Structure 1
Amino acid sequence: MKRLTLRARLALLVATAVALAVAACATTSWFLVRGELYNELDRRLRSAAGPPGGKDEPGRRFWRFGRQLGYDLSTCSSTASNEGVNQPPPGPYAILQLVTADGRACTVPYAGSLTITDADVQVAKRERESVLRDGTGVDRYGEQIGVRVYTVPFTAEDGTQAAVSYALSLEEVEGPLSTLAWLLIAVSALGVLVSAGAGLVVARASLRPVDELTGVVEHIARTEDLDTSIPAEGADEIARLSRSFNTMTAALAASRDRQQQLIADAGHELRTPLTSLRTNIDLLLRSQETGRELPPETRHRMLVSVKAQMQELSSLVGDLLELARPDQDEPVQEEVALHEVVARAVDRARLRGPGLRITAETKPWYVHGDPSSLERAVVNLLDNAVKFSPPDETVDVRLAGGELTVRDHGPGIDPDDLPHVFDRFYRSTSARSLPGSGLGLSIVARVVHESGGEVALEPADGGGTLARLRLPGTISARD
């Protein structure tokens, strides 16, 4: 079954379902017809036997042959005979036989014979009112046949009590049933063939959208063209699948574009420090190879430049690794004392800006997030403020009510740059001459978003920039 194609399996399932339904209908029809034929045969048997007599009057069953039956009962021959009677019993396929109370069979001329059962004897003894059963007998021509037997009580004119068994051949039922069975088998076979053909047509029509979807998927797998879309018309499952596939390919295309943009931007940002490093190292090597020593001041300045470029490369690689980390559906979440994180970040910022005054006012605030990522985000905000603050200026840091503000007294941000400050590798015109990769604020935005907070930059009153970071939390730690 697994080796068959989906179209073949669908057609096979349709044909099987139709075959089972046709078989069930045919079997039910056969049994219904059989029941009706047997009911009609039983009706004929009861009608031929005649109605039973009243309580105080002799029975009227087989009243037309009562005298002959009484005579046959008195003579009681157990062997069927076709002699001695001018008029045979009614019905060309009828068998008539008497049963005595002691279990003997008394045949009637020209009426064949029947196999006696205990139930027939019980009727002769008046232990049962009547018996209707299937049995076997020998007809007037000596042929053994299957019969439907109806046995009823009989009282002769001399008062002798017995029973009369009247039978009709089952050929009247089995012949039509046999014909009907073959007819139903032929109709069922034809129905299965028709259903198999219909199943193929239905499968081909139903799976046409799947074939189109398969073709598009194979095209995308072969060409990696994620801009290819599948026509999605209607509201059925195939249309929903097509729309979902289009959404998936659009997301993949956007992810690929972002990846390519990240690689291009990273290459551009890495090119500058790598070029400077290579130039300085080439000069140092050339000086050593030619034997012409550089002045100590020049050599020291070049080594300081190499160190600065290495630090910039290390920072850039760290930022790239942080941004390249895949988004987590359930990021690490634990209770973090944000005021302690801010205090540590302020201490680090003071080391990086020894000529600046950094004031800090923090109140307890506990949030859920990743401690190291939150600390890096706060450090990036403070580094940004330190980088743009003139010497001997002040950077104000305040944490209260879940809002962290970092205010510097630098040149501020141009209003045209505000919508882009959190984009990767974006650097305003005034910041391009300063060290940095343009990834710091992108990392801040990502960490804050993962923690369920918000971050924004805005011009500060009196000049400079004000950064606002809001994180949901509480003023006290949970037990």
Structure 2
Amino acid sequence: MRVRLQGIVVTLVALLVFGLGIPLALTMAGSLQQNLFLDRLTDTARFASLAQRPLIDNRPALLEPELRRYTEVYGVKVVVVNQDSVPVLSSLGGTDAARIDRTAIAAPVNEALAGRHPEPGPLLMPWSTAPLVLAEPILIDGEVRGVVVTESSTDHVRTRLLWQWLVLAAGAVVAFGLALLVAIPVVRWTLRPVRRLDEATGALVAAVVSGREAEPVGESGGPPELRKLGRSFDRMAASVSEALAAQRAFVADASHQLRNPLTALKLRLGNLEGHVDDDAAAADLDAARVDAGRLNQILDELLSMARAESAGGELVAEDLGAVVADRVADWSVVGAARDVALETDAAVNGARVLLPPRGLEVILDALIDNALKFTGQGTSVHVSAVNGGDRVTLAVRDHGPGLREDELERAVDRFWRSSAHQNVPGSGLGLAIVREIVRHSGGDLRLSLPDGGGLRIELDLRVAP
């Protein structure tokens, strides 16, 4: 936007400079031409008056000394032509036609013989090379008896005009530069609130995701309308942050408060064991205990989700290889009980990744637990890590039924479970928790369907400096 606005300002300044400079340049050219024309017209009219008596007496040579002197002083050629368009006198001496450009003076002579007086002609330009030719009729008793023609070089006038135009162009460039020097800070001042809003919008998303307080835009200068917009944005950001904080607090408080009555309920159900004789009632008691355990698991995962969403800005460096080895060793016992082998290949060379405190353990527990649920007996779960410089790719691959292609994006949504896996225990929060932790730490999460079946979950994690 800044480039476009500056382009508009530059265009307007350029139009203003050219809109004033071009007419001024043409006015200069017209003024110099008019001065030259009037000066030469006065001299030509004077010679036309002086030529009346020599033509009446048929002695045009009487005017030759004055014409010659005029040419020597001013460099202007003067020719006297009779009624038949025949030169009878020249300031260069005699009437030699070779010294006279008959073509240049033919048209002005014909107009003067018709009784018309000279006109300025086309506008004089620095690149014009044609001389200024003026033809004044010699009137005797109201009859045109001849014509006085002056032929003036325009070199000195065109040179003067060129210098004036150069000075004008230099002034236009200076004015254009000064206008830009003023316009660029004004544009920056105008767009400063817009830039702050853009930065605050990006920071708001990161703050909301990480649970931090959004940085206010504040009074960052600029037009009053944009400052008012910035204040409105601050109020909106504060409302969003408060609403999300209240939501997370509610989830955490509700989950925490429900754990005590749920624990009491599990104890009461345990106390009933052995006191229920009816087979149907015993089956219901067992189902109630299973449901209570499942509810307890959901509450634990809700608490984990709340902690992941409100982790704040704190990130710590964790030894990826050590944590992977530790979690694989612990889960190998569960895998052995289910006849599932846990394999690891962590070629990370002591890499340390940035995550919230205990975030890597939570991620590996959720991914390995999820993989063991769906992997069949006699298969394996593979945990790998590859160091890519400033990023480490951590992957967990199982050999279960996997997902459909259209289910990969939805698999990280809260409480979402595939219709084909409804009989598998779980709450649908594991991958959602992993996504929140990875997002907070600035990483990426991807799900793919590898060759040979199953599901592969990859995490790109930042390496600690």
> Which one has the bigger helix percentage?
2
TM-score, reference length from structure 1: 0.45
TM-score, reference length from structure 2: 0.46
